[in-house]
Structure 1
Amino acid sequence: MKTLAETQSICPECGAVLPAVYVQRENAVYFEKTCPEHGAFSVLAASDAARFAAFVVQPVNVPPKRPLTESRQGCPYDCGPCENHLQTACCVLLEVTQRCNQRCTFCYASSGGAAPPDPPLAAVLDWLRFLKAEGEARPFNIQLSGGEPTVRDDLPDIVRAAVGMGFPYIQLNTNGRRLAAQPGYAQTLKDAGVSAVFLQFDSLRDDACQALRGEALLAEKRGAIEACRAARLPVALVPTVVAGVNDGEVGALVRFAIENIDVVKGVHFQPVSYMGRHPGAQSRVNMFDLADALEAQTDGLVKAAELAPIVTGHGLCCFTGAYTLQDDGTLASVRQAGVPASCCEVDFGAGCDEEDAGCCGSEPPPCCEGAGADCCTGETSGCCDTGEMANCCNDLNALTVVEKDRDFVKNRWMVSGQTDAGCCGNSLDAFLDDFRKRSLTLTAMHFQDAWTVDLERVRRCRVQVFDDYKLIPFCTYNLTDAAGRPIYRGVQPKKQPASATR
Structure 2
Amino acid sequence: MMTATESVCPVCLARLPAYREQDGDDGWLVRTCPKHGLFRTRYWHGPPGPQGWDRPKIPKPGTEPLGTAPGPGCPYVCGLCPEHHQRTCTVVLEVTGRCNLGCPVCFADAGSASAPDPSLADIAARLVQARQQAGPANLQISGGEPTMRADLPDIVAAAKAAGFPFVQLNTNGLALAADAALAPRLAAAGLDSVFLQCDGVSDAVHTALRGRPLAREKRAAMEACAAARLGLVLVATLVPGVNVAEVGELVRLAAKLAPGVRGVHFQPAACFGRYPGDGASAPRLTLPELLAALEAQTGGELRADDFHAPCCEHSLCSFSASFFVGPDGRLAVSGGGNCCDTGAAAIPAEDGARQSMAFVARQWGPAKAAPEPAAICDDFDRFLATAASRPKLSVSAMAFMDAWTLDLERARGCCIHVAVPDGRLIPFCLYNLTAADGTALYRPKPCA
TM-score by length of 2: 0.92
How far did residue 463 of structure 1 move?
0.2
Q: CA deviation at 1:429?
A: 4.0
Q: Which moved more, 1:205-214 or 1:452-461?
A: 205-214
What is the letter of the counterpart of residue 416 of structure 2? Answer: V
- When residues 157 and 390 of structure 1 are mapped into structure 2, their CA distance, relative to the original with a 3 A threshold, is farther
Give the CA deviation at 1:44: 1.9
Task: Check whether the contact 1:131–1:140 (CA below 8 A) recurs between aligned residues.
Answer: no
Q: What residue in structure 1 maps to residue 361 of structure 2? A: 410
**Structure 2: which amino acid aligns with 1:317?**
C
How do 1:18-57 residues align onto structure 2 when only pairs under 5 Å count? 18-48=16-46, 50-57=48-55
Q: Which of 388, 397, 400 does residue 444 from structure 1 map onto?
A: 397
1:317 and 1:399 map into 2 onto residues whose CA distance is: 17
The equivalent of 2:438 in structure 1 is: 484
Task: Note if contact 1:20-1:31 (Cα within 8 Å) is conserved in structure 2.
Answer: yes
Structure 1: state its 5+ residue gaps: 336-373, 493-502
Map of 1:234 onto structure 2: 231
- Partners of 1:293 and 1:314 in 2: CA distance: 23
Deviation at 1:55, TM superposition (A): 1.9
Rounded Cα–Cα distance in structure 2 between residues aligned with 1:477 and 1:200? 20
Following superposition, the deviation at residue 151 of structure 1 comes to 0.7
RMSD of aligned alpha carbons: 2.4
CA–CA distance in structure 2, aligned partners of residues 390 and 151 of structure 1:
46
Q: What SS does the aligned partner of 1:264 have?
A: coil
Q: CA deviation at 1:122?
A: 0.7
User: Matched residues in 1 for 2:58 and 2:405: separation?
Assistant: 23
Q: Is contact 1:203–1:253 with CA below 8 Å preserved after alignment?
A: yes
Measure how far apart 1:403 and its partner are.
Answer: 3.3
Q: Is the 8 A contact 1:70 1:83 kept in 2?
A: no
Conservation of the 8 A alpha-carbon contact between 1:416 and 1:434: no
Q: By how many angstroms is 1:63 displaced?
A: 4.6
How far has the Cα of 1:428 moved from its partner?
4.8
Are the counterparts in 1 of residues 417 and 428 from structure 2 also a CA contact under 8 Å?
A: yes
Aligned to 2:102: 103
1:208, distance to aligned residue in structure 2 (A): 1.6
Deviations 1:415-470 (CA, angstroms, capped at 9, x unpaired): 433699999774354234224xx200011001100000000011111000001200
Structure 2 counterparts to residues 262-411 of structure 1, below 5 A: 262-281=259-278, 282-327=282-327, 329-335=329-335, 374=336, 384=341, 387-388=342-343, 390-391=345-346, 393-394=347-348, 402-411=353-362
The answer to whether the 8 Å contact 2:55/2:311 transfers is yes
Match of 1:466 in 2: 419
Amino acid at match of 1:323: F
CA deviation string 1:150-185 (max 9, x = no partner): 111111011112212321100100000100001111
**420-429 or 309-318, which deviates more:** 420-429
* CA deviation after TM superposition for structure 1 residue 311, in Å: 2.3
Structure 1 residues 85 and 310: alpha-carbon distance in aligned structure 2, compared to 1, 3 A threshold: same
Amino acid in structure 1 at the alignment position of 2:289: D
Distance 2:94 2:111 in 1: 14
Question: How far off its partner does 1:389 sit?
Answer: 6.0
The alignment partner of 2:101 has SS state of coil
Q: Distance in 2 between matches of 1:24 and 1:389?
A: 20
Q: Judging changes above 3 Å, is the alpha-carbon distance between structure 1 residues 486 and 428 closer, same or farther for their aligned structure 2 residues?
A: same
Q: TM-score, normalised by structure 1?
A: 0.82
User: For each residue in 1:175-203, what CA deviation from the matched residue of structure 2 results, as whole angstroms up to 9, or x when unmatched?
Assistant: 00100001111111111111110000002
For residues 385 and 330 of structure 2, the distance between their equivalents in structure 1, rounded to whole angstroms, comes to 22
Distance apart, 1:302 and its partner CA: 0.7
**CA–CA separation in structure 1 for the residues paired with 2:253 and 2:303:** 17
1:29 Cα offset (Å): 2.1
**Identity in percent:** 42
Q: What does 1:237-256 align with in structure 2 at a 5 Å threshold?
A: 237-256=234-253
CA 1:64 to 1:209, structure 2 compared with 1: closer, same or farther past 3 Å? farther
Deviation at 1:313, TM superposition (A): 2.2
Whole-angstrom distance in 1 between the partners of 2:363 and 2:205? 28
Alignment partner of 2:315: what SS? Answer: coil
Counterpart secondary structure, 2:414: coil
Task: Give the secondary-structure state (helix, strand or coil) at the position aligned to 1:173.
Answer: strand
Deviates more, 1:142-151 or 1:25-34: 25-34
Q: 1:66 to 1:171 in 2, by over 3 A?
A: farther
Q: Distance in 2 between matches of 1:181 and 1:408?
A: 31
Distance 1:70 1:302 in 2: 48
> For this pair of structures, how many residues does the alignment match?
437
In the TM superposition, residue 327 of structure 1 has moved relative to its aligned partner by: 4.0
Higher relative CO (Cα under 8 Å, sequence separation at least 6) belongs to 2
Rate the CA distance shift 1:27–1:229 in 2: closer, same or farther, 3 A: closer
Give the 3 Å change call, closer, same or farther, for CA 418–130 of structure 1 in structure 2.
farther
Q: Secondary structure at the match of 2:57?
A: coil
1:72-102 CA-to-partner distances (Å, cap 9, x unmatched) read: 1111111111111111110000001111111
**Displacement of 1:26:** 4.2
The verdict on how the C-alpha distance between 1:41 and 1:231 changes in structure 2, with shifts beyond 3 A counting, is same
Q: How much does 1:259 deviate?
A: 1.1
Match of 2:386 among 431, 434, 438: 431
